[in-house]
Amino acid sequence: MRDENLEKSVEALRQGDTRAFDHIYERTNRAAWFTILYLVHDKMHAEDILQETYLRAMRSLSQYRAGSNFTAWLCTIARSLALNHLKKAKREVSTDFEADAYKYGTREAEIPYLFDLAARILTPEEYEIVMLCQVSGYKRREVSKMLGIPIGTVTWRNNEALKKLRAHLKEDNA
């Protein structure tokens, strides 16, 4: 299933209509954001990587196959850039401050405990679906279109992920 309006906007952008970017960004930014944030766990770096994702996507727009899933293509770019960031960060020497940066507010300390818990205990597929459905407010059919998977799979993974989270929270409170 494709998002016809998104495909039209991508084609318009290819033709030079820069106003189409607004619609593309509106339809795809949350999926790309959570793809990046899931990997880097740092809001500041995620924002930088998100910007780079759109810059790279706009430069590579000619490589996008019309009619395929644009959101998935964009998220692939986002994931690649986030992984490159992590590889680069591993090569850098870290200080104690960097290791404990979340205590000082430079990491994604604002993410509620539940986001961190979800990132730790859910599979990447479950996490992405929970973030898109529960946090970003997309409907399951929209997530199904974005990810190119059946709505039943989205519903099942979302429900299973929520069960895992509830069970883990009950264990912590017991």
pLDDT of 142 reads: 85
pLDDT of 132 reads: 83
What parts of the chain have a pLDDT lower than 50? 1, 95-110
CA distance 21 to 38: 24
Torsion on CA atoms 28, 30, 34, 37, rounded to nearest 10 = 100
- pTM above threshold 0.85: no
For the chain, the average pLDDT equals 83
The verdict on domain 1-111 having CATH code 3.40.630.30 is no
Q: Domain 112-174, what architecture?
A: Orthogonal Bundle (1.10)
pLDDT of 67 reads: 82
Q: Indicate the domain borders of the chain.
A: 1-111, 112-174
pLDDT of 4 reads: 85
CA distance 101 to 91: 18
pLDDT of 174 reads: 58
Retrieve residue 104's tokens.
């000082």
